[in-house]
Amino acid sequence: MTKADIVNEIAKNTGIEKVTVQKTVEAMMETVKDSMVKGNNVYLRGFGSFIVKKRAKKTARNISKNTTIIIPAHNIPAFKPAKTFITKVKSHVKK
């Protein structure tokens, strides 16, 4: 499902114009991104959490050049689904 599909589905289910739904979806995504860039997690009860994970500094190898490189510590975005969300996905069986 793409962002356009999500906008279409919400517009169909709510009767709100697609343009308004698209602006709302875009604003929600920007708000989540901005919050995570600042290092804050975003919690959506019943859906999941967008969290900032911290990766420690590590040494890696470039096998083709036989060299080692240092990967500095950094943050990455991650999504942790809520338990109810996981349960629904696990119990849904396609026929």
In tens, the pLDDT along 16-39 reads 999 999 999 999 999 999 999 999
How many structural domains is the chain composed of? Answer: 1
> Which run of H or of E encompasses 80?
strand 74-81
Residue 90 lies in a domain: no
DSSP characters over 16-67:
--HHHHHHHHHHHHHHHHHHHHTT--EEETTTEEEEEEEEPPEEEEETTTTE
Domain encompassing residue 7: 1-40
Report if residue 52 sits inside a domain: no
**SS3 at position 92:** coil
Taking residues 73-89, report their average pLDDT: 94
Starting at the edge strand that comes first in sequence, how are the strands of the sheet with 74-81 ordered?
42-44, 48-55, 74-81
- pLDDT value at 95 more than 80: no
Taking the C-alpha atoms of residue 31 and residue 25, their distance in angstroms, rounded to an integer, is 10
pLDDT recorded at residue 32 = 96
Which pTM value belongs to this model? 0.78
